[in-house]
Structure 1
Amino acid sequence: MHDFFENSLFAGVTLSLISYLIGSILKKKFKLGIFNPLLISIVVTILVLVVSRVDYDTYNEGAQYLSWLLTPATVCLAIPLYEQWELLKHNCKAVMAGLVAGVVTSLCTVFVLSKIMGLTHEEYVTMLPKSITTAIGMGVSEELGGYVTITVAVIIVTGVLGNIFGELVCKIFRITEPISKGLAFGSASHAIGTAKAIEIGEVEGAMSSLAIAVSGILTVVLSSLFAHFM
């Protein structure tokens, strides 16, 4: 199996897609949040690599092509936003206030927990971009001197948790307004949360798509400021 991954140009991509397909089938069959396709694909991929004794670099040689699609896929999320443009214009102030509150809350939470847990500066800045899309978060972490690979893992975990528990949290706190729900998903759990928002409704998906872009920009700006706090 190790030789297969070393000699095959697309072994990593194939494993990733098959793992995601397994997750999608399980989600469709059981309809439970825990069977999130991305979460299942991560678990299956790790198990295959561990059992086959294939190191990450070897796997990534064949899986890196999927990363090329990350930025275009994020840009495509602008389509549902365009379709809800009039709604956005009528609620512009509330939307911006919500997004600023979401980003500041995320950064403050990381700062407080990092202080409590006694993290180093490098570990602290690694966590700061946890709630923005990977394409932006990797650049922020690298610029601030964090551990980029850990940042990627944290971003994925944040997104998966938002996808699984986001709707439940909205029900607990009785958040029913579609705009509010969409902004919450996008600002807290980026593209993975947005996938869930799109499932819930068109308005939720559009607002979540907007939140990804604006939250990313705000996090880039504010992370540089928060980085000096530790």
Structure 2
Amino acid sequence: MDAVLTSPFFGLALTAAAWCLGVWVQKKTKWVLCNPLLIASLVIIALLAVFGIPLEDYNQGGDIIKMMLGPVTAVLALNIYYQRQTLKEYFMPVLVGCLVGSAASLGSVLALCRLFEMEDMLTASLLPKSVTTAIAVGIAESRGGAAGIAAAAVVLAGVVGAVFAPLFAKWFRVTDPVAQGLATGACSHALGTTKAMEMGELQGAMSSIAICVCGIFTSILALFM
């Protein structure tokens, strides 16, 4: 059993199985809260805790998956390429909207962390909450933050955005589909984009673009905070 648990295949197999379970639950329930990433994380944590499996054993394979975050970040550039016609048509709204959205996200987190006198490690982990996990983890770790906390903050921001994006658009009377899509993507990355696609084709396209553009802006702005 020790040989199995310390093998890289254990972490890889457990992660893949937990992810498949999360996808299955999400398809069955159709609930936004049943996000595959969230479910997979909870299942892995529960199994490690119940069976007393050391995190170091899981990380033998888990670190291999973490290593793929770099290539995944680079692949995001394809998204902008595929949406290049839409980006050309709405270039200035995208540029200004994503810049303001990124600055507002970073600024609000920094202000709240300073207000509650949180440790620098937690502040660094929470700052990139509104960008996709691949970028958020890199930003957090470069500032001395914890990858796990950063990933959890990203998931929470995504779930909240996916659930409340249509309500916020209604409450604040945001009727422009470009504004709806950019706001959703800027605040809640991929999870919010799934909801934006349900709101409309243009909203989904703009939210998809916002994921990439906000990731670039956030990476740059975080250097000065």
Distance across 2 between alignment mates of 1:187 and 1:128: 14
Residues 45-96 of structure 1, C-alpha deviations (whole Å, 9 max, x = no match): 1111111111222112112333344344444444454343233222211111
- The yes-or-no answer on 1:15 pairing with 2:18 is no
Q: Which amino acid aligns with 2:50?
A: V
| Residue of structure 2 in register with 1:116 after alignment | 115
Give the 3-state SS of the residue equivalent to 1:67 in structure 2.
Answer: helix
Distance across 2 between alignment mates of 1:20 and 1:170: 31
| Residue of structure 1 in register with 2:83 after alignment | 84
Q: How does 1:1-230 map to 2 (within 5 A)?
A: 4-6=4-6, 8-198=7-197, 201-226=200-225
| Displacement after TM superposition at 1:102 (Å) | 0.5
Structure 2: gaps (5+ residues): none
Q: Which moved more, 1:48-57 or 1:115-124?
A: 115-124
TM-score normalised by structure 2 residue count? 0.83
CA RMSD of aligned residues (A): 2.7
| Displacement after TM superposition at 1:149 (Å) | 3.7
| Displacement after TM superposition at 1:104 (Å) | 1.3
Residue 34 to residue 150, structure 1, CA distance change in 2 (3 Å): closer
Give the 3-state SS of the residue equivalent to 2:8 in structure 1.
Answer: coil
Distance across 1 between alignment mates of 2:2 and 2:163: 34
Q: Which amino acid aligns with 2:176?
A: E
| Displacement after TM superposition at 1:159 (Å) | 2.8
Distance across 2 between alignment mates of 1:190 and 1:174: 22
Check the 8 A contact 1:80/1:205 in 2, yes or no: no
Distance across 2 between alignment mates of 1:48 and 1:63: 14
| Displacement after TM superposition at 1:130 (Å) | 1.7
What count of residue pairs does the alignment treat as equivalent? 225
Q: Which amino acid aligns with 1:84?
A: Q
Structure 1: gaps (5+ residues): none
Between the aligned residues of both structures, percent identity stands at 39
Residue 89 to residue 37, structure 1, CA distance change in 2 (3 Å): same
Q: Which amino acid aligns with 1:54?
A: I
Check the 8 A contact 1:186/1:211 in 2, yes or no: yes
